[in-house]
Chains A and B, each alone.
Chain A
Amino acid sequence: MAYLLEILPSLLNGLQSTLGVFFVTLIGSIPLGILVSLGLRSEFFTIRWLLNGYIWIMRGTPLLLQLIFIYYGLGMMGISFPRFEAAVIAFIINYAAYLAEIFRGGLQSVPKGQYDAAKVLGFNKIQTFFKIILPQVIKIVVPSVGNEVINLVKDTSLVYVIGLGDILRAGNIAASRDVTLVPYLLVGLLYLLMTAIVTLVLRNSEKRLNIWR
């Protein structure tokens, strides 16, 4: 117990970075994902082509590689970011690609009749999207977005590759220094706690959205 209390501050310190990457990614990737999903329905072929290319690259290469490219690769080309910024840029553009595909599926699931009904009532495109379509899309995509959010909790551990001091790195340092696996157990418990909280929040959201069908 004394040992757990001894290593806990350094783990909690790492937790700050983990939570920072998690929340900034969430705030950045959801709106970007929605924008990209709308762009995928654009009438302009070039926009659709570019966005499909972006999604292909993001989903076709490992996030680890993308982190390395943005921190080290761009740094070698003279575009350098601090570690935290590089991490959130990589995470946001990666997760936005996955979320865009989820939102695209959600948009396709809304019946055409909803657009028609809005149109004959005089709604413009923006009003139709925000008042009629988006709330329905959100309900449709919440379970899939929830999976991505839980993945994100765990994926934040990848930031070790660019030397950002997250919770796993803090555990790694303690385990190497003290030659014990206990820090990893504690790290595992903290990840479980985070995913449990995320799961609870998502379940509540689903329950609240279930008042209509």
Chain B
Amino acid sequence: MLELKNLTKQYDTNMIFKNLNLTVPDGEVLSIVGPSGIGKTTLLKIVAGLETANAGEMFLDNKAVSVSEERNTADIGLIFQDFNLFPNYTVLDNVMLAPITVQKMAKDQAKKLARELLHSLGLSDKEKLFPYQLSGGQKQRVAIARALAMQPQILAYDEPTSGLDEQSTYQVAEIIKDLKKEECDAIGDYTR
């Protein structure tokens, strides 16, 4: 469960949000919808540890997590709008790299995990390709597999279907729904 209490973010004199409170219960998907520039991405970045908040608290399964400093932690995965796959690695390596490097998982085990994830996301036949050889929807699914390989408690999606065609949008939405069943909470934002 993710809880944000009185979260405040401002850049100089520009207040992005003030005293924001929200809760994402276990197994739930929370969508944040709103016009461009209201701080949806900023909120997700704070949750994922890429940005700091000026005030407020965050709790992950009732444990306090600092929002006043940037963090290197994979507890909360973030799927980026523009995927940010590592271009110099194949699809399989993109998914395996963090478990091997960060979690020190054995290479065979990481490969098995990566293949299972890619299979579940319908990407088994793409494992040897590089990101530039994939469509937008496929890149998005690789990004999801890469985040899931680190077994995050929360998965945050920044405009996950932006720029995708109708079919890819549907596929990604289905994946997010399926992940919910697998006890990975989700928080996402959409521009309206």
Contact = CB atoms under 8 A, between A and B. Distances in A.
Interface string A117-131: 101111110010001
A132 interface: yes
Residue of B73, B76, B84, B132 most packed against chain A (CB within 10 A): B84
Counting contact residues on chain A (CB < 8 A from B), the size range is 20 to 34
Residue of B102, B103, B130 most packed against chain A (CB within 10 A): B102
B86 A132 contact: yes
Given A124-B72, A131-B101, A116 B84 contact: yes
A212 B73 CA distance: 28
B87 A121 contact: no
Interface in B81-126: 82, 84-89, 97-98, 101-103
Interface string B157-175: 0000000000000000000
A91 to B, nearest CB: 31
Nearest to B132: A213
Given A113-B84, A114-B86, A121 B98 contact: yes
A213 B86 contact: no
Contact of A120 (B77, B82, B101, B132): B77
A211 interface: yes
Residue of B70, B72, B131 most packed against chain A (CB within 10 A): B72
B132 A123 contact: no
B48 interface: yes
A120 B80 CA distance: 10
Interface residues of B, number: 30
Given A113-B80, A123-B102, A135 B88 contact: yes
B78 interface: yes
A94 B45 CA distance: 42
A124 B103 CA distance: 12
A66 interface: no
Contact of B74 (A121, A132, A212): A121
Given A120-B48, A120-B76, A139 B102 contact: no
Given A113-B80, A121-B102, A136-B87, 10 more contacts: A113-B82, A120-B49, A123-B98, A123-B102, A131-B97, A132-B86, A139-B88, A212-B87, A212-B89, A213-B87
Contacts of A139: 88
10 contacts: A113-B80, A113-B84, A116-B45, A119-B70, A120-B78, A123-B102, A132-B86, A132-B88, A135-B88, A212-B88
Nearest to B50: A116
B80 A123 contact: no
A122 B74 contact: yes
Interface string A173-213: 00000000000000000000000000000000000000111
